[in-house]
Every structure is written in structure tokens, then in C-alpha cells.
Chains A and B, each alone.
Chain A
């Protein structure tokens, strides 16, 4: 299941034909190899194992021609549209690229069709790059939600076992 995020990301982008639009926005076009590696790094390393990723990669190669092998760092926004049962729908996708790696994907749906909103959110659920984390005390928050604090009994038992193991 490691490759599920990659499949979903690549599938969503390929389905909306956005990679081509993205390449068009890029001031420094890339060759197929670096573009694939960029997509793989952003989506995850599974791109070459996923049929849907491969099909999206081949789409990219037809839209790019330069061979200097690098993207210009920055954010790229493209709007894709598609036909849904409720009419024409569109989504806006913003990719942030740094060092030939997609570091962020933001997708904003533009639809007031409830069904479409639902299905869009299904298949454009964004995959982020590796999350490093931000110190909580730098955020203005009221509460913290993580895994449930565990029961006293569990924690006591764990401490006992650790103590026994150390003895």
C-alpha cells in the first residue's frame, strides 16, 4: 500500500490533464526523465510501478521538449476542467517545486454541485511531501489532537516492563 498515495496523486493529475498545463507554465521545460523523477519525488517513489503513473508520465513527455533537465523553483497553478453529470466542473491545482521536487500540492475545487464536490474531494485528496512538523508552541492553537492518551493501567504496565528489561 506504500504506493497508494502516488497512484492517487498521479491518477488525479493525469485524469485532469494538468501535468501538460503545468509544463506549459514552466519557464524552464524539462526532459522526460527529470520530470518523472520530479513527479516521483512529490508523489512518492512508486511512480514507476504504477500503470496510471506511467501513463501520466508519457503524457508529460509529449508536452515538453527541452533537455536541460530542471524545473525552475516556484509555484505553478493550472486550472483543469472536466465534464461531470452535473455539468462542466473545474479545479485549480497549485504545485510548488523546489530542486526538481514537487514539495506541495494544493487543489481547490470550484463547484456548487454537491455530488461533484464529494467526488472531487474523493479523487483530488492531496498528498503532501514528507511532513516534518512545526513546533506546536509556534502555532496559535487552543487544543492538541493526537493519539489518545492511554489509560493509567497501560502506562504503568509499560513502565514496569521497561524497568524489568533494564534490570
Chain B
């Protein structure tokens, strides 16, 4: 069976998307996909002054968030607990301190600061979100995956049955049982090299690495919330799970935690690459590392 014949690329939430499908992308589907992306960005983006979360943090306050809030809140609460605070949606303030702020200052404006504690600064349960004044909610670890899932749902509702949603490396694959997609796991720092290959017939594959959003020596976007400093032991991770939200979140969590407690929260398979160059692969990962 050949690759899907229809292809549509667009920009949304500040990144590049590629959709491929056996079914043509109608005007209605395109409108719905772009609407889903815009609504997500308008609610959650910490890079937009007019987003709901930016408004809540500026003055402190409470809002009713879109439906995905329930999923995201439950997942983040679990991850915050299991990583003992290392992974937290309150990482926005420490990230901004190091220079990864809404204006892309890209230089620190002081020593690292730890993230605020969840119970002190955040009430987030179901669709209710309350944020203390001055806090910056950052759902970057799971948000793009969640949006990949939402775009997938739009295509499924429109009758697409064999397609791939690629949000710049965060993938959802549907209907490729007969011919799984072969996906290279790009080596950090050298996208021309692969450290492995995954084969995906159905489900999500998300990657995280510290080589791209790195703005100066030792400064990148994956922080330990307890110290506000960038992690140093893992350089990349790839996670296969049923949903892109889970895969995306676990890809970041693997920088901050051993795999075992994370796999108590959700089923996933993974590869992670340590800074010493060794790769750790879970036994069920659908693919292999090319050592």
C-alpha cells in the first residue's frame, strides 16, 4: 500500500504541521483543524499576552478552561506527584528566569529559581483553573501532544481512516496496520543521523530533546522544577503510547524520573538517550536502537 496521497502543511501554535491522508482535506476539515489549533492556543499559550492563562497569571484569578483541561490537569497532577515536583506546570517562572520567556529574551535575568509549589500557587481540577498572581502556567510538556490528538479526532470525525498527523515530530498514526510507518529517531545535534528506527501502525510517537530549544551553554527548556535548573543526564527521549498527550508528557518526564514509576501512570514504551551516549530501550519498544 503506498503512502497516503494527500498532504497538507500549515503553521499553528508557533510550529509546523504536516497532515497526510488517503482522504482529501476538504475546506471544512481545514477550517475545523485550524479552529481547534487557534482555540487551544488562545486558552493555553504562555507566549500570547491575550491567552487565558497569561491573563490569569498577570492578575491572579480563576477561569473555566476548555474540555481538555480535565485530562491535562489529572496528568500533570500525577506527574508532579510521581516526580516529587521535578515536573510541574508551574515551570513557566523558572523558564522565564533563564531567558525562555514570552518575549524570547534568551538570557537569564538572575540565578535559577525553583517553581512555586502546586498547592501554594495553583488550583487546577477538571475545567477549573486558578492561578496565583505572577505565575506562568506552562503545559508545553503535554500540550502539543494533546493538540495532535485533537487534530486526529477532527480527521476521524470527518471520515479519514488512514492518516498521519505530524506536529513537528509529535506524531499520531491511524490505519497503518498493513504497512507501519517507519520513523527515524533523529540524533540530537545532528538531524542527519538516526539513533534508531521506530515502526508505528497505530498510536503516537513523541520526541523530546535538549538540543533544539537551547539558547546558550547549559541552558535549555527542560528544567527540574525543584531547582529551576536545566537537566543534565538525559539528552533525548522517544515515547510510543496510545495518545500523543501521554507520549508527549512521558517524553519530558523521562528527563526527570526513572521510567518505572511513570509506567505506573500509563502504558508506554520508550527509548532515552543519556548524555554519555548510551541508550535505554524498553523491551516492548516497536523499533530498535542502532548502536
Within 8 Å CB of A142, what residues of B? 3, 181-183
Contact with A along B260-285 (1 / 0, CB 8 A): 10010000010001101111111110
Within 8 Å CB of A150, what residues of B? 14-15, 212-213
List residues of B (12-26) whose CB comes within 8 Å of A's CBs.
14-16
Within 8 Å CB of A122, what residues of B? 259-260, 263
With A134-B193, A134-B290, A149-B16 in contact, is A143–B215 under 8 Å at CB?
Answer: no
**Do A147 and B207 touch across chains, with their CB atoms under 8 A apart?**
yes
**Do A146 and B186 touch across chains, with their CB atoms under 8 A apart?**
yes
Looking at the complex, which of A61-69, A77-85, A101-109 is the stretch in contact with chain B?
A: A101-109
Q: Answer yes or no: A27 CB below 8 A from chain B CBs.
A: no
**Do A130 and B182 touch across chains, with their CB atoms under 8 A apart?**
no
**Number of contacts between A and B (CB, 8 Å)?**
188
**Do A144 and B191 touch across chains, with their CB atoms under 8 A apart?**
yes
Chain A, interface residues (CB within 8 Å), range:
35 or more
Q: Answer yes or no: A166 CB below 8 A from chain B CBs.
A: no
**Do A161 and B107 touch across chains, with their CB atoms under 8 A apart?**
yes
Looking at the complex, which of A13-21, A28-36, A49-57, A152-160 is the stretch in contact with chain B?
A: A152-160
Q: Answer yes or no: A145 CB below 8 A from chain B CBs.
A: yes
| Min CB gap B182→A, angstroms | 4
User: Chain A at the B interface: mostly helix, strand, loop or mixed?
Assistant: mixed
Tally B residues with Cβ within 8 Å of A: 67
Q: Answer yes or no: B53 CB below 8 A from chain A CBs.
A: no
| Min CB gap B167→A, angstroms | 8
**Do A147 and B211 touch across chains, with their CB atoms under 8 A apart?**
yes
Within 8 Å CB of B164, what residues of A? 143
**Do B184 and A147 touch across chains, with their CB atoms under 8 A apart?**
no
**Do A141 and B182 touch across chains, with their CB atoms under 8 A apart?**
yes
Q: Answer yes or no: B185 CB below 8 A from chain A CBs.
A: yes
**Do B279 and A137 touch across chains, with their CB atoms under 8 A apart?**
no
Name the residue in B104, B107, B269, B276 with the highest tally of chain A Cβ atoms < 10 Å from its Cβ. Answer: B104
Within 8 Å CB of B105, what residues of A? 157
Contact with B along A36-50 (1 / 0, CB 8 A): 000000001000000
Within 8 Å CB of B206, what residues of A? 145
| Min CB gap A141→B, angstroms | 4
- Chain B residues close to A by CB (< 8 Å): 3, 11, 14-16, 47, 104-107, 144, 164, 166-171, 181-188, 190-198, 205-213, 215, 233, 236, 238, 258-260, 263, 269, 273-274, 276-284, 289-291
- Chain A residues close to B by CB (< 8 Å): 1-2, 4-5, 8, 44, 103-104, 107-109, 117-118, 120-122, 124-137, 139-154, 156-158, 161
The contact sample of 21 A-B pairs, CB cut-off 8 A, is A127-B278, A131-B195, A132-B193, A132-B277, A134-B193, A139-B182, A139-B194, A142-B3, A142-B181, A144-B186, A144-B191, A145-B205, A145-B206, A146-B185, A146-B188, A147-B213, A153-B47, A156-B104, A158-B104, A158-B106, A161-B107
